[in-house]
Amino acid sequence: MVLNEDKVSLQIDCIVQARMGSTRLPGKVLLNIDESHRIIDFLIDQLNQTRINRLIIAIPDSKENDVLENYLKKLNVICFRGNELDLLDRQKRTIFQLAPVEVQEQALWLPTL
């Protein structure tokens, strides 16, 4: 977020890629890091402390990610599902589906979790 002297700020949407599939640590985003928090909770909590306008989690449309989508819905986090094999396409579709035309160039993309 950039503020100028007049306190005018950009509205920035943050898109995070997350998925349940992983060859090294399957299901890592929903692994518990303590008794009451999962890895995805930590990320969401940290981003909620920033000045981003909206947090959007982009996940693959495969069946194994249904559990992640259901978990995000319980947290009232915006979730977008797209092509599992094409990360860039999923990112692009997230922006074009959920962002108004005038702000599509102001999205912040965080790497895959």
> Which domains, ranges and CATH numbers included, belong to the chain?
13-110 (3.90.550.10)
Tell me what percent of the residues of the chain surpass a pLDDT of 90: 46
If one counts every other C-beta atom within 10 angstroms of the C-beta of residue 51, the result is 10
- Per-residue pLDDT of 38-92, as tens digits, reads 999 999 999 999 888 889 999 999 999 999 999 999 999 999 999 888 888 888 8
Polymer length of the chain: 113
Over 50: is that where the pLDDT of 36 sits? Answer: yes
Over 80: is that where the pLDDT of 101 sits? Answer: no
Ramachandran region, residue 7 (left: φ > 0; alpha: ψ -120 to 50; beta: rest): left
Helix (H, G, I), strand (E, B) or coil at 34: coil
